[in-house]
Each structure stands twice: as structure tokens, then as C-alpha cells.
């Protein structure tokens, strides 16, 4: 099957099936009967708004004679009456495609080919132009931990900027089709970078509603509400989960008390669910105590999970559980804390549990008036240290003095 080169895509073509009864399997069989290599569209939108994938975007379609080498095609099931759910899905698909092929023109089949067909039986181009504004595409992270690279060459060099966690919502900015990368902007802290397309779920036209978040450093997802059940995944602090219907029906306790049933990314066999301890979703007020649970976790530049974490991620993740959303990196965090009502602490003042100390490019947490906790490359882990002993080394390593902030929570 001929490849479809991304730089050649000049048209995004809207079709209709000319029948309300057809589904993607019917279209596939019909197109096979034409002697084609299966369904000719890249996307098919069912009557309930469900989007079914047809040909991969890197294959030429079979939907517009003479234009298949320069177009992507989406087909609405129906003849001349399409419902709101279908138009919503059409907006999502076209917004996603336009984010990657910004110069491509949105047209109907009838408008791109010399044909007697009236498909899709409305002026697709005029309809698109009538929208108030293009709808942004959003998506959720489906990998347990997803590396985010500051540039699209980062995968080859291993230079991750940060990590995204399961269930986090991102806004899709652009795609790099050849390398299967997506440029995203995080909803949590507006961090921009490139992620593997395989780690991001289906896009939608609005941000996903806030979901319960894991409040343990790490939790095992099991196939049943039993510690002896097979493990399905490991979710990290800050991962956002969606409760299964059974959990909602039982006030969040799932089918068995002490466990909660959550949805997992769908497989070819359909939706999957798993179970986690209900306590893993309880609110945390002692964010410093939570940070202490990370002691001895390995240090990882750009890491943001119990499997590997850096200094600013430790502060960001734990403070976020206490309801304070702060930026990702230590420099931006320090700038954030310059604003009232956060209090500056002079060096000769007694330090308290929960005070945060900043150096250029580094941040640590005070456990009491003597000890600090920080993820650092010197110990290659999250380490507890005597502050008086650590200060000279950190002053030399960062080439800067320490500033202490007392967050207002």
C-alpha cells in the first residue's frame, strides 16, 4: 500500500456514507468488493459519535480519486442528517489534523473532485469556517510514566526535561509524524515538550475533568480486590485515575470494602479495570511526611516518580497533594514563592518543618530546624542531611547562597 507523506497532505476531506445503516465493517467489506485494500477512509464517525480508525495516516486512502496521495479522509455515517455527537467528533478529528497539517484545506468530497456526488451533503469548508474558533485537542497520558523531552531530538540523546504521570491531561500542540512524537503542554504546570505518541490516549475537544489522584508514593494495581491477585500496573504519586461505575455505585469503595475499582486504558478486548487500596486516594495534609516516604528513592534528572526523581519534582508533587500547584523547575518555583503570602526566612532565624530552601538550580525541604531532605546527584538518591553540614557543599556546588521560603498553605 503506498505511503502517505505528511508534507504532501493538502486536503482534509469530509465524506458521508449515504446510508444510516452502514458501519465500518460494512464499509470495509464494500471497499474490498471494489477491489481496494479494505476501508478507504482514515477515520469513520458512527451515529453515536464513536470514532473508528480506518487506514493508518501513513497510508494513502482510497476515498478521492486523483487526490489520495495528498489527503486524509473522514466519513460520517449517514446521508444528510448528522447529530451533535457526530459533529463534535468531527471537530475533534479535524482540529487534531489541523494541528499537524496547518496548511491543509478542509473540504467536502464534492468540492475536491469533479463528481456528480453531493457527499457529504453539506458545505464542509463553510461549516468549518463558521465555527467561532478551532477547537483545541486535549489528551490523557496512558503510560505509567511518560518521558517529556524539551526538543524532538531528545529521545536520541536521552535528554528528558520532565515526566508525565498516568492520567495527566495535556494539550496537543503539534505532531512530528516521522518520529511519532507529539508536542504537548501540560495542564498542571504549562510545561511544553515532546512525548512519544504511544504514551498519549485519544484526543478530545476539552480538558478531562479532574479525577482522583494517587496520594501514595507508589501503588500496585491488581486484577482483583485481593492482594494475591495478579499485578496489572504500578501507579505513582499524582497519577489521576477514573473510577469504574461499580466504585461510584458503592461510594468509592468498589466491589469490596477497602478497595476501589478503576478504569485502565482499553485493550483490543475492550475496557479493562483494576483495583487499588482505597486509602491510596485519601487526601494528604502532611506533605512533608509524604516527602519523607521518598527517602532513598533514586535520583533521576528530569524524573518525577518514585522510580526516579529530582529535587524540584519532589517538592512539586508533594506540595500539590496539599493543594498548592507550583511550577515544575526550581528556578520557576523560586520565582513563584517570591509573591506574598509566602514568607522569607532569614538565615539566622530558626527553620521549621516545611520550610523550603532554594539555591541556584536546586531546592531542599526542611524536616526540622536541623535536617533537610532533598533529591540530589551527590548521594544519587533522596537523602536526609544535617543542614549545617550540607550548606557549604551546596553553596560551592551551586555557586550561590541559600534562600529559605515558608509556604503559606
Q: Annotated catalytic sites, by residue?
A: 15, 41, 109, 117, 119
| CB 67, CB 112: distance < 8 Å | yes
Give Cα separations from 64 to 10, 69, 74, 94 (angstroms).
13, 9, 11, 17
User: Which neighbouring-strand residues pair with 408?
Assistant: none
How does strand 371-376 pair with strand 381-386? antiparallel
Q: Which grid cell sits at 358? A: 532554594
* Exposure class string for 268-307: b at 16+ Cβ within 10 A, else e: eeeebbbbbbbebbeebeebbebbeebeebebbebbbbbb
How does strand 105-108 pair with strand 11-16? parallel
Q: Give which of 70, 75, 78, 131 is closest to 103, Cα–Cα.
A: 70
Q: Give which of 193, 88, 192, 186 is closest to 141, Cα–Cα.
A: 186
Amino acid at each position: 500500500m503506498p505511503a502517505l507523506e505528511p508534507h504532501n497532505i493538502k486536503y482534509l476531506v469530509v465524506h458521508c456514507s449515504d446510508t444510516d445503516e452502514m458501519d465500518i465493517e460494512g464499509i470495509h467489506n464494500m471497499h474490498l468488493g471494489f477491489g481496494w485494500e479494505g476501508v478507504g477512509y482514515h477515520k469513520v464517525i458512527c451515529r453515536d459519535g464513536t470514532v473508528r480508525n480506518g487506514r493508518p495516516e501513513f497510508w494513502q486512502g482510497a476515498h478521492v480519486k486523483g487526490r489520495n496521495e495528498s489527503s486524509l479522509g473522514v466519513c460520517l455515517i449517514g446521508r444528510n442528517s448528522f447529530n451533535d455527537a457526530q459533529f463534535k467528533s468531527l471537530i475533534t478529528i479535524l482540529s487534531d489534523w489541523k494541528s499537524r497539517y496547518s496548511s491543509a484545506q478542509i473540504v467536502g468530497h464534492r468540492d475536491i473532485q469533479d463528481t456528480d456526488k453531493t457527499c457529504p451533503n453539506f458545505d464542509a469548508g463553510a461549516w468549518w469556517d463558521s465555527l467561532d474558533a478551532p477547537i483545541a485537542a486535549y489528551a490523557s497520558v496512558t503510560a505509567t510514566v511518560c518521558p517529556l523531552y524539551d526538543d524532538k531530538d531528545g529521545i536520541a540523546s536521552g535528554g528528558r526535561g520532565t515526566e508525565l504521570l498516568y492520567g495527566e491531561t495535556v494539550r496537543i500542540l503539534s505532531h512530528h509524524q516521522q518520529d511519532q512524537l507529539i508536542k504537548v503542554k501540560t495542564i498542571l504546570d504549562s510545561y511544553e515538550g515532546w512525548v512519544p505518541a504511544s504514551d498519549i490516549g485519544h484526543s478530545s475537544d476539552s480538558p478531562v475533568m479532574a479525577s482522583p489522584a494517587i496520594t501514595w508514593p507508589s501503588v500496585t494495581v491488581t486484577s482483583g480486590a485481593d492482594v494475591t491477585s495478579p499485578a496489572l500496573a504500578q501507579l505513582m504519586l499524582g497519577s489521576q485515575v477514573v473510577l469504574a461505575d461499580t466504585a461510584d455505585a458503592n461510594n468509592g469503595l468498589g466491589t469490596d470494602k477497602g478497595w476501589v475499582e478503576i478504569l485502565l486504558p482499553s485493550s483490543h478486548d475492550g475496557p479493562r479495570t483494576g483495583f487499588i487500596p482505597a486509602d491510596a486516594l485519601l487526601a494528604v495534609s502532611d506533605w512533608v511526611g509524604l516527602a519523607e516516604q521518598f527517602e532513598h528513592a533514586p535520583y533521576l534528572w528530569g524524573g518525577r516518580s518514585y522510580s526516579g526523581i529530582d529535587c524540584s519534582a519532589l517538592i512539586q508533587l508533594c506540595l500539590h497533594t496539599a493543594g498548592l500547584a507550583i511550577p515544575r523547575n526550581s528556578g520557576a518555583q523560586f520565582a513563584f514563592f517570591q509573591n506574598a503570602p509566602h514568607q522569607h526566612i532569614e538565615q539566622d532565624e530558626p527553620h521549621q518543618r516545611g520550610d523550603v530552601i532554594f539555591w541556584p538550580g536546586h531546592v531542599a525541604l526542611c524536616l526540622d530546624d536541623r535536617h533537610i531532605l532533598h533529591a540530589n546527584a551527590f548521594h544519587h538518591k533522596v537523602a536526609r542531611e544535617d543542614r549545617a553540614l550540607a550548606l557549604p557543599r551546596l553553596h560551592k556546588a551551586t555557586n550561590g547562597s541559600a534562600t529559605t521560603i515558608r509556604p503559606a498553605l
